[in-house]
Amino acid sequence: MRDTAVALTAAGIDNARFEARLLLVQASGLTIEQLVAHGSDEVPGNIAETARSLTARRVRREPMAYILGEREFWGLPFKVSPAVLVPRPDSETLIEAVLSLMPDRSRAWRILDLGLGSGCLLLTLLREYPQARGVGLEASAEALAIAQENADALGVAGRARLILGDWRRSGWAEALGGPFDLVVSNPPYIASAEVPKLMPEVSSFEPRLALDGGAEGFDAYQLIIAASPRLVTAGGFVAVEAGEGQVTEITRLFSAAGLSPQAPWKDLGGIDRVVTAGN
């Protein structure tokens, strides 16, 4: 653990000792408690070799979630791979917003998730609304497979229809079988020129398709919001995650589409993170 922490610190990684412990847990198959209890034992050669291999991956700044193969979101375990964005606490703000907008947990809501990724938004909502049914649209076949595994593991696969499709192609909205009570999305919203400037865990490892929002970062919002009036039932809602400084333009797009935008929701860092609009 000491050697791993030293290597991680030299690579400029924060919380090096905490991450070293996670890597050792992954390498050994032991729990943290077991590691502590056996801390003075000699490390078997195969475990030491695995730990060195995992450490080398993290030193190259591969996201810890990809190394571990899993990331927690809303208290639930989600399988992840380089095919999907790593679920982030900021995105939990969208779940909070939806639960406030739609407090009746017993209704059979119809939910659409555009840009499914790992499925963290749609599948979490299906857990929160046990009578709801959902549709998820995803442009990457590899990401769709991850989302299907997560739907199976979380016990909501019977209420989730996951579709391979792309909102950049004509006719995409008509293929979803709407309208829906709720449309959610965490679309790509980083301006193209800014993607290479992101921290290396993101720019070098996470899927560009899920990051790059076009020249100004609004390409996906324009397509999603323009289609929203015909995707959402009267009285229904759209909720989208936003990048820092993007709320004003997203609000304008909602208004131009004939929807009624509401005050943005802030994440734990105080940044306007989610914009919702009613139909």
Tell me the per-residue pLDDT of 41-86, one tens digit each, with 9 for 90 and over.
Answer: 899 999 999 999 999 999 999 999 999 999 999 999 999 999 999 9
Contact 113, 134 (CB under 8 A): yes
* 63-77, 167-181, 204-218: least confident range: 167-181
- Cα–Cα–Cα angle for 109, 114, 119, rounded to 5 degrees: 80
In which residue are the tokens 């609000």 written? 251
178: confidence class by pLDDT, cuts 50, 70, 90? confident
pTM of the model: 0.94
Which CATH number is 83-278 given?
3.40.50.150
- Cα–Cα–Cα angle for 263, 267, 268, rounded to 5 degrees: 140
276: left (phi over 0), alpha (psi -120 to 50) or beta: beta
Percent of all residues in the chain with a pLDDT value above 90, rounded to a whole number: 94
Contact 241, 274 (CB under 8 A): yes
Average model confidence (pLDDT) across the chain: 96
**CA 154/CA 165 separation, integer angstroms:** 23
**CA 24/CA 32 separation, integer angstroms:** 9
Query: What was the pLDDT predicted at 39?
Result: 81
Query: What was the pLDDT predicted at 4?
Result: 95
Q: What is the mean pLDDT of residues 113-138?
A: 98
38: confidence class by pLDDT, cuts 50, 70, 90? confident
Contact 153, 126 (CB under 8 A): no
Domain limits, the chain: 2-60, 83-278
Query: What was the pLDDT predicted at 233?
Result: 97
CA dihedral (63, 65, 67, 68) in degrees, to 10, reads 160
Six token digits for residue 201 = 């865990």
Helix (H) or strand (E) run with residue 136 in it: strand 133-138
Query: What was the pLDDT predicted at 175?
Result: 87
Contact 203, 196 (CB under 8 A): yes
